[in-house]
Amino acid sequence: MSHSPRTWGRTSSFWVAAAVVVHTLWTSAAPAMMYPLYAHQWQLTPTVTTMIFAVFPVFVVATLIALGDLSDYIGRRAAMLLGLSASLIGVLLFAVAPNVTWLLVGRAFMGVGVGLSAGPSAAAVVEFSAPGKAKLAGAITTAAQAFGLAAALIIGGGLIQYAPFPTRLSFWVLVIVLIATLFGVWHLPRHTKAESSKRWSLKMPQIHKPLRRTFLVSVSAVLSAYSVGATMLSLGSQIAHDLIGSSNALVNGGAISLFAIVLGATGIVAKRFTSKLSIIAGASFSIVSLLLLMLATATHALPVFLLSSAASGAGYSLLFMGGLNLINAHAPMHHRAGTLSALFLVAYLMQGVVAMLLGRAATAWGLDLAIDVGSLALAGLSLGAMLLAIYVREPDHKPDN
């Protein structure tokens, strides 16, 4: 990949791609600490607040269905520029929103932005990494997600509690971050050897036939991770506020951000784990975290909620990294972004479904019963991912990178 004096080299490009990964989770989680404020300000039910969350994965999925492999044809840089621009529009709408309709439209733009950039940024981290360092790329991608998530929760919680304009200011901070990231992506190499020479056409993301068994294991792991994450992001601040009894937004944000901090730390510590070991361990942590969440809501105990948050972070990290490393290790270069986009498609679709079902259950049954039923269902999902990792063999071939 050639580069001019105004184009980043390989190492800088690697970290810029990681910054785009940061934006995908920061943008996703940016409103997480605001939901109780929106509910109070506009008298919203849990169904409506989770709808604000769920609009995002719906539009991520729609974008991935239509444009999931676009970057394999137009290049990672162009796809990420389009994605970041859409995210910027969405965040600006949140920053000035006068009512819930603006939030829903803004959430849709955020979904399009992340849908356009999630697969290309994950692929670019692999392609700009040092030769033979695909596992490190998976760990960095996981850590970048964790950083974005923690930033959204801690900055959001702190500004809500101690700064003026609690439903606005954190989005203006994110606007600045997105503008800086756009500048970085603008200076990435315009073309890389990962681009296909064929003309792009509108089609569903497809899975390379020899990769389908591997994809099944990978998607079950990432799907489980995103489902547990959806519980924490769509209802975590409400759980801390209503069931645990904490009224301090920074404390609540810190409690949920423990999920992100442990997520990132686990990704670095476990970077040498095999994919199978990562998925088995991640599923185990996720099941434990869900049982602890049920206990926390039953006992109204903040320390138990903190343990649940930490365990779910470890579970998410290991499940996501294990699933991602399977794809990175076996997907051919010209199919990589399309395969990763298909992976994110299923994961974000499940995230939206989980958020909406939990919201409707919380409205109909009460938050505590909804958490109990949802936790048992998600524990079963994690168990399924574990069994697939144990019993499905990986292919023997490795792609050219």
Q: Name the token pair of 19.
A: 């910054």
Which 3 state secondary structure label does DSSP give 3?
A: coil
Q: Name the token pair of 378.
A: 């998600």
Between the alpha carbon of residue 35 and those of residues 103, 374, 379, the distances in Å are 11, 20, 25
pLDDT for 74:
84
Query: Within a 10 A sphere around the Cβ of 316, how many other Cβ atoms?
Result: 32
- State mean pLDDT over 228-240: 74
User: Is the model's pLDDT at 22 over the cut of 90?
Assistant: yes
pLDDT for 192:
61
In contact, 178 and 363? CB cutoff 8 Å = no
Where do we find the tokens 């909804």? 370
Q: What is the pLDDT of residues 66-97, one digit of tens each?
A: 887 788 788 889 999 999 999 999 999 999 99
Q: Name the token pair of 134.
A: 């695909």
In contact, 374 and 355? CB cutoff 8 Å = no
In contact, 224 and 346? CB cutoff 8 Å = no
What's the pLDDT band for 7 if we cut at 50, 70, 90? confident
- Per DSSP, 188 falls in state S
pLDDT for 1:
46
Q: What is the pLDDT of residues 245-274, one digit of tens each?
A: 767 777 777 777 888 889 888 988 888 888
pLDDT for 108:
96
- State mean pLDDT over 180-189: 94
Closest residue by Cα to residue 258 from 339, 199, 196, 317 = 317
Closest residue by Cα to residue 189 from 123, 128, 120 = 128
pLDDT for 40:
85
Q: Residues for the chain: how many in total?
A: 401
Spell out where 97-253 has E strands. Answer: none
- State mean pLDDT over 308-337: 84
pTM of this prediction? 0.76
The whole-angstrom separation of Cα 220 and Cα 326 is: 12
Burial of 332 (0-12, 13-18, 19+ CB in 10 A): middle
Burial of 188 (0-12, 13-18, 19+ CB in 10 A): buried
User: Is the model's pLDDT at 131 over the cut of 90?
Assistant: no
CATH code for the part of the protein at 10-189+207-391 = 1.20.1250.20
The domain segmentation of the chain, as residue ranges, is 10-189+207-391
